[in-house]
C-alpha cells in the first residue's frame, strides 16, 4: 500500500477498489495527475470527475459551508456509500475536475481499502478504471486488461455493488438524480421526506455531461429478449434475471437483481473474451428491485439507445 500512496503523492495514478467499481485514482489537487487520468482513459475533457474523500473534514477543500439544504442528512445516512452529491464548488477546485461547471461531485466510498488509501493520499478523483467506452471494471483483472499487466492496481477482489454510484444534484430546486445507482430514488425520498426528481438527460447539454456518452458497452451486441429469440443460439449469452436455469451460455439469476448488478460488467467482458456475438437480457421493470433502475440505465446504454 505504501508504494501506491507514494505514487499518488508523486503525481502518478493508481487504480483501487471501491464498493461500486474500481476507480482510477489521482490526487484531486494535482493538475498534471488529473490530466493523466483523462489521457489514460481516453475520457472526453467535458466529462467531470467525482472527488472521493475519506472523512467529512476533507469536504471543506471543495465546497463552502453551509452545505445545501439536504446534504447533511444524506451524508449522515448514506456515507460512506454509493451516493455522489453534486454541490456548489469552491473557487479553488480545479476546472479539469468539474469540466468548468460551477459545481463539484463528491462521495465517500464504503470500502475499507479505499478509505485507508484516501486517508493516506488525501482526496482523489477516481473515475472508473476502464478505457472510455469499455465496461467499468469490477475486478482488478479488468483494470489490467484495459491498461496492461504492469498497471498499478490495489486488488480488493470483486466489487460488492458492481454499478457506479447514484449521482444526486443538490443545486437545483429539488434534489435530482442525474445518474441512477444502487441507492434508489425511493430510499433517498424516504431519508429526506421530500420529493426527488429524475433527470433523464435527453438533451445535447445534460446536467451530468457523462450521461451523454455511451459507455458500459461490450463489443457483442446487447438487446432485450423478445418472443422471437430462441434461447439456444450458441453465439449468444443469455442473462435471465427471473429464471433459475444455468448453463454455460444461459445464466439465470432467480430474481437476484443485486447479483446481476454485481456481475453485469464481468458478463459483458466475458462475452467478448468468449467471442459471443450477442448478449440477450430478459426484460424487467424498474420497480422490481431498488437496483433495477440503475441496471436498466446501464443496459439501455449498452444497447445503444
Ligand atoms: P464516472 O467517474 O465515470 O463514474 O463518471 C462520473 C459521473 O459523474 C459522470 O456521469 C459525470 O457527468 C458526473 N458528474 C461529475 N461531476 C459532476 C458535476 N459537477 N455535475 C454533474 N454531474 C457530474
Ligand atoms: Mg466511467
Q: What percent of the chain has pLDDT over 70?
A: 95
pLDDT of residue 213: 62
Q: Whose CA is nearest to atom 9 of ligand 1?
A: 210
Q: Is residue 8 part of a domain?
A: yes
Q: Can you tell me the distance from the alpha carbon of 194 to that of 228, in angstroms, rounded to the nearest whole number? A: 43
Cell numbers for 79, please give them: 456515507
State residue 236's pLDDT score: 95
Q: What is the 3-state secondary structure (H, E, C) of the chain?
A: CHHHHHHHHCCCCEEECCCCCCEEEEECCCHHHHHHHHHHHCCCCCCCCEEECCCHHHHHHCCCCCCCCCHHHHHHHHCCCCEEEEEECCCCCCHHHHCCCCEEEEECCCCHHHHHHHHHHCCEECCECCCCCCCCCCCHHHHHHHHCCCCCECCCCCCCCCCCCEEEECCCCCCEEEECCCCCHHHHHHHHCCCCEECCCCCCCCCCHHHHCCCCCCCCEEEECCCCCCCCCCCEEEEECCCCCEECCEEECCCCHHHHHHHHHHHHHHHHHCCCCEEEECCCCCCCCCCHHHHHHHHHHHHCC
Q: What is the model's pLDDT at position 193?
A: 97
Same domain? For 137 and 43 the reply is yes
Give the structural domain span for 21.
2-198
Find the range with the poorest average confidence among 10-19, 143-152, 224-233: 224-233
Q: What's residue 206's pLDDT?
A: 65
C-alpha of residue 28 to centroid of ligand 1, in Å? 14
Distance 76 CA to ligand 2 centre (A): 26
Confidence of residue 114 (pLDDT cuts 50, 70, 90): very high
Query: Is the distance from CB of 292 to CB of 285 less than 8 angstroms?
Result: yes
What does the pLDDT look like over 210-247, one tens digit per residue? 666 666 778 999 999 998 888 778 899 999 999 988 78
Average pLDDT over residues 111-133: 97
pLDDT of residue 245: 82
Residue 205 confidence class, pLDDT cut points 50, 70, 90 = low
My answer on whether 188 and 267 are in the same domain is no
15, 105, 177: residue to mutate for ligand 1 pocket, most atoms within 8 A of CB: 105
| Same-domain status, 19 and 87 | yes
**Per mean pLDDT, which range of 53-57, 227-231, 266-270 is the poorest?**
227-231
Here the CATH number for the domain that contains residue 173 is 3.90.870.10
> Same domain for 174 and 29?
yes
Q: Are 277 and 227 in a shared domain?
A: yes
In this structure, is residue 216 part of a structural domain?
no
Pocket test for ligand 1, best of 127, 167, 181 (most atoms within 8 A of CB): 167
- Are the beta carbons of 33 and 13 closer than 8 angstroms? yes
The C-alpha angle with vertex 13 and arms to 12 and 17, in degrees rounded to 5, equals: 145
Counting from 1 in the atom list of ligand 1, the atom nearest the Cα of 128 is 3
Q: Based on the fold, state whether residues 164 and 251 are members of the same structural domain.
A: no
With vertex at residue 71, the alpha carbon angle to CA 67 and CA 73, rounded to the nearest 5 degrees, is 130
Q: Please report the atom of ligand 1 found closest to the CA of residue 126.
A: 2
pLDDT at 263: 98
231: in domain = yes
Number of domain units in the chain: 2
Q: Do 270 and 162 fall into the same domain?
A: no
71 falls within a domain: yes
Q: How far is the CA of 23 from the centre of ligand 2 (A)?
A: 9
Q: Are both 76 and 154 inside the same structural domain?
A: yes
Q: From residue 259, how far is each of 35, 161, 182, 249, 263 by CA, in Å?
A: 35, 8, 12, 17, 6
The per-residue pLDDT for 234 is: 82
Find the 127 Cα to ligand 1 centroid distance in Å.
Answer: 9
**Which among 13, 18, 50 is the best mutation to test ligand 1's pocket, defined by most ligand atoms within 8 Å of the CB?**
50
Q: Is 206 within a domain?
A: no
Confidence of residue 200 (pLDDT cuts 50, 70, 90): confident
**Average pLDDT in the 156-170 region?**
98
Identity of the highest mean pLDDT range in 198-212, 225-239, 271-285: 271-285
Nearest listed ligand to the Cα of residue 130: 2
Distance of CA 151 to the CA centre of its chain: 20
Domain boundary among 198, 229, 253: 198
Amino acid at each position: 500500500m505504501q508504494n501506491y500512496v507514494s505514487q499518488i503523492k508523486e503525481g502518478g495514478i493508481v487504480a483501487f477498489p471501491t464498493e461500486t467499481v474500481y476507480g482510477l485514482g489521482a490526487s484531486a489537487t494535482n493538475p498534471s495527475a488529473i490530466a493523466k487520468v483523462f489521457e489514460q482513459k481516453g475520457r472526453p475533457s467535458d466529462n467531470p470527475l467525482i472527488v472521493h474523500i475519506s472523512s467529512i473534514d476533507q469536504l471543506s477543500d471543495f465546497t463552502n459551508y453551509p452545505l445545501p439544504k439536504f446534504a447533511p442528512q444524506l451524508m449522515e445516512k448514506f456515507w460512506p456509500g454509493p451516493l455522489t452529491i453534486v454541490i456548489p464548488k469552491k473557487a479553488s477546485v480545479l476546472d479539469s475536475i468539474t469540466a468548468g461547471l460551477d459545481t463539484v461531485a463528491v462521495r465517500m466510498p464504503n470500502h475499507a481499502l479505499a478509505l485507508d488509501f484516501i486517508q493516506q493520499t488525501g482526496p482523489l478523483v477516481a473515475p472508473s478504471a476502464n478505457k472510455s467506452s469499455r465496461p467499468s471494471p469490477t475486478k482488478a483483472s479488468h483494470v489490467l486488461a484495459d491498461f496492461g499487466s504492469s498497471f498499478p492496481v490495489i486488488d480488493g477482489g470483486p466489487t460488492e455493488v458492481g454499478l457506479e454510484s447514484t449521482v444526486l444534484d443538490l443545486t437545483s430546486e429539488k434534489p435530482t438524480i442525474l445518474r441512477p445507482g444502487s441507492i434508489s430514488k425511493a430510499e433517498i425520498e424516504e431519508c429526506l421526506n421530500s420529493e426527488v426528481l429524475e433527470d433523464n438527460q435527453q438533451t445535447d447539454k445534460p446536467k451530468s455531461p457523462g450521461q451523454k456518452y455511451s459507455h458500459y458497452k461490450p463489443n457483442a451486441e446487447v438487446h432485450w429478449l423478445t418472443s422471437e429469440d430462441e434461447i439456444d443460439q450458441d453465439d449468444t449469452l443469455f442473462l435471465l434475471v427471473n429464471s433459475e436455469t444455468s448453463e454455460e451460455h444461459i445464466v439465470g439469476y432467480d430474481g437476484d437483481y443485486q447479483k446481476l448488478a454485481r456481475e453485469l460488467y464481468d458478463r459483458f467482458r466475458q462475452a467478448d473474451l468468449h467471442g459471443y456475438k450477442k448478449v440477450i437480457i430478459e426484460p424487467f421493470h424498474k420497480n422490481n428491485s431498488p437496483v433495477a433502475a440503475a441496471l436498466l440505465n446501464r443496459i439501455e446504454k449498452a444497447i445503444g439507445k
